[in-house]
Amino acid sequence: MALEDPVIAPDTGIVADLAPAVATEPATAAAPAGIPPRFACFVTGTDTEIGKTLISSALLHALVQRGVRACGMKPIAAGAVLRDGRLHNDDCDQLEAAGNVHLPQSITTPFLLKEPAAPHIAAALENVAIDPVPILAAYLEVAAASDATVVEGVGGFRVPLTDSYDTADLAQQLDLPVILVVGMRLGCINHALLTVEAIAARGLKLVGWVANALEPEMAFGDENVAALAARIPAPLLGRVPRLREPSAAACAGHLDFSGLPNWPAHRNNPQ
């Protein structure tokens, strides 16, 4: 596979060109007769430690509850520890636990780095070159093995992965509908609106956003949410309070994903 080769995910209606190009709106091609359209999304945030993994896990939990074969993917993760003879990252472990399609770690997280730092720094420390080709190839494997895929970004929307490639480039190549997690704290309006502009500048479709509480009480929280709702051209999927015991199930109870593109109807749980 060469960098300029197009990558086509099975039955997704999505074409991701590995070479930088003018982005187009995510494809919404109809699935073959009798086969429901598959759900896929890219989850990004206004910053790091903002709740992307919690929201991604809630998406996976909700999909599994609807009887869908769902798999989470975090292509790049920094901050891994060796446990039981295997590298573990908390975010990756949460995604794996929330989904019901379990694939090798080398597929769901092609680049798992030990140092809890910006990916380009962590990769340099391990003499690793982050390359989009294995990431996009891995995405195709995940898409082929599942009916729904949730891809979680790393950090905010424009985190460097190499000197010339960042998470916005990856999102553009995947060409998936985007869900934005806004960490509710002072300054969140500016951070959210700048991220919304960056998503639009890549030709990507923002299909929803989540207001995720980062502290028990935020001064003027309602007013901040109202200001964001008036300015973000996508539906608010819900407000997640500061949970005493954060979990995918608890988080999902505060969110409504039913309006998302290709959100599946309830099916019998697959065996």
**Catalytic residue positions?**
74
* Token representation of residue 195: 């991220």
Tell me the C-alpha distance between 236 and 63, whole Å: 19
Helix count and strand count (H, E) for the chain: 9, 12
- Which residue numbers belong to the known binding site? 49-54, 91, 152-155, 241-243
- Which residue numbers belong to the known binding site for Mg(2+)? 53, 91, 152
| DSSP state string for 210-270 | EEEESSS--TTHHHHHHHHHHH-SS-EEEEE---SS--HHHHHTT---TTSTTPPPP-PPP
Tell me the C-alpha distance between 8 and 143, whole Å: 10
- Which residue numbers belong to the known binding site for ATP? 49-54, 91, 152-155, 241-243
* 24-62 per-residue burial string, b: 16 or more CB within 10 A, e: under 16: eebeeeeeeeeeebbbbbbbbbbbeebbbbbbbbbbbbb
Contact partners, residue 158, CB within 8 Å, separation at least 6: 166, 167, 168, 198
Tell me the C-alpha distance between 233 and 79, whole Å: 34
